[in-house]
């Protein structure tokens, strides 16, 4: 595309699905394959974060804030968080939900390619879907919530406090455990559910290093780590009596089951 007008004509085609991502900067529009094009947009900047930091310093710490210094930070932060629009024009028209579902795999592959080439974490922040009649958009905020856990794994404030201290101590003393924490951090950001399973299994493999041996492969070491050496057990109740049964699981099903429990809590 030779000009800004060409880019705008492409971006205004209908029907089309757009995914806005933050974290990568490109000098000019590029074709990403499968009909997807990437366009560089104005950076989000870092103004909100700078303002929040200044407010925290002033109101919480009780320290004076140099307004000139804050303004300098705001000026320096204008180009932070560059934005790229991934645009996929489609040959069929449909409701917005169907168009987004149709485009999602191709947009996801384009985003991963962009992250690879830019060596940056490219994060989606919103979707815009334009069919022949209407245009819809939705933000994609981070999946964070202050209601997700009640004091974490232990269920009480004291247990959660001890868990935090044990994890901190382990990460300080054992670099391999720190590596497992890094793998887990990356796995939580993986949007593809199947890929997330594989990444989570890598976490368990990293945690199982102490039970690995030349005669015990990684999968068996993970099973021993989870207390599943004899195979997963299923407890059920039928007509008032307990029934214990053993279930054999496929490779994918077993990998999925590993992450329904926390590695730090024994499975019963």
Residues 181, 239 within the same domain: yes
Who has greater pLDDT, 42 or 222? 42
| 113 and 183 part of one domain | no
H/E stretch holding 14 reads none
The answer to whether position 205 is within a domain reads: yes
**Which position has the higher pLDDT, 254 or 173?**
173
193 and 90 in a common domain: no
Start-end of H helices in the chain = 4-11, 47-55, 67-76, 96-118, 157-173, 175-188, 193-207, 218-225, 251-258
Q: What is the pLDDT of residue 254?
A: 41
Question: Residue 212 — pLDDT band, cuts 50, 70, 90?
Answer: low
Contact status, residue 38 vs residue 85, Cβ threshold 8 Å:
yes
Domain region containing 113: 4-44+81-139
Last residue of a domain, one of 117, 139, 161: 139
Residue 179 belongs to some domain of the structure: yes
Q: In this prediction, what percent of the chain has a pLDDT beyond 70?
A: 77
Judge whether residue 184 has pLDDT over 70.
Answer: yes
Spatial CB neighbours of 201, under 8 Å, sequence gap ≥ 6? 222, 255, 258, 259
Residue 97 lies inside a defined structural domain of this protein = yes
One domain, residues 121 and 219: no
| Same-domain pairing of 185 and 238 | yes
Q: What are phi and psi of 83, to 5 degrees?
A: -120, 140
For residue 128, is the peptide bond before it cis, meaning its omega torsion is within 30 degrees of 0? no
| Reported confidence tier of residue 27, pLDDT bands at 50, 70, 90 | confident
Q: Which residues are CB-contacts of 43 (< 8 A; sequence separation ≥ 6)?
A: 25, 78, 79, 80, 81, 82, 83
Q: What is the pTM of this model?
A: 0.71
In a domain, residue 203? The reply is yes
Q: Are residues 196 and 132 in the same domain?
A: no
The predicted structure's pLDDT at residue 127: 97
223 vs 58, residue with greater confidence: 58
Tell me, yes or no, whether 26 and 102 share the same domain.
Answer: yes
Indicate the number of domains in the chain.
2
Kindly state whether residues 16 and 131 are assigned to the same domain: yes
> Residues 205, 221: contact at Cβ < 8 Å?
yes
Are residues 197 and 111 located together in one domain of the fold? no
């Amino acid at each position: 595309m030779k000009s800004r007008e060409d880019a705008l004509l492409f971006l205004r085609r209908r029907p089309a699905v757009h995914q806005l991502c933050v974290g990568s900067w490109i000098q000019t529009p590029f074709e990403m394959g499968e009909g997807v094009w990437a366009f560089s947009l104005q950076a989000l900047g870092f103004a909100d974060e700078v303002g929040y930091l200044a407010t925290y310093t002033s109101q919480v710490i009780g320290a004076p804030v140099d307004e000139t210094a804050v303004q300098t930070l705001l000026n320096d932060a204008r180009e932070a968080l560059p934005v790229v629009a991934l645009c996929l024009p489609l040959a069929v028209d449909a409701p917005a939900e169907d168009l987004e579902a149709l485009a999602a795999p191709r947009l996801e592959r384009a985003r991963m390619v962009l992250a690879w080439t830019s060596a940056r974490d490219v994060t989606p922040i919103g979707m815009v879907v334009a069919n022949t009649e209407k245009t819809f958009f939705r933000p994609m905020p981070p999946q964070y919530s202050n209601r997700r856990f009640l004091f974490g794994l232990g269920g009480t404030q004291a247990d959660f406090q001890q868990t935090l201290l044990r994890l901190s101590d382990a990460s300080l003393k054992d670099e391999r455990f720190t590596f497992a924490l890094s793998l887990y951090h990356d796995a939580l950001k993986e949007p593809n559910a199947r890929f997330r399973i594989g990444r989570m299994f890598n976490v368990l493999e990293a945690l199982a290093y102490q039970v690995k041996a030349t005669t015990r492969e990684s999968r068996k070491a993970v099973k021993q780590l989870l207390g599943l050496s004899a195979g997963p057990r299923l407890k059920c109740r039928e007509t008032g009596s307990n029934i214990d049964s053993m279930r054999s699981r496929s490779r994918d099903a077993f990998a999925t089951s590993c992450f329904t429990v926390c590695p730090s809590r024994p499975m019963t």
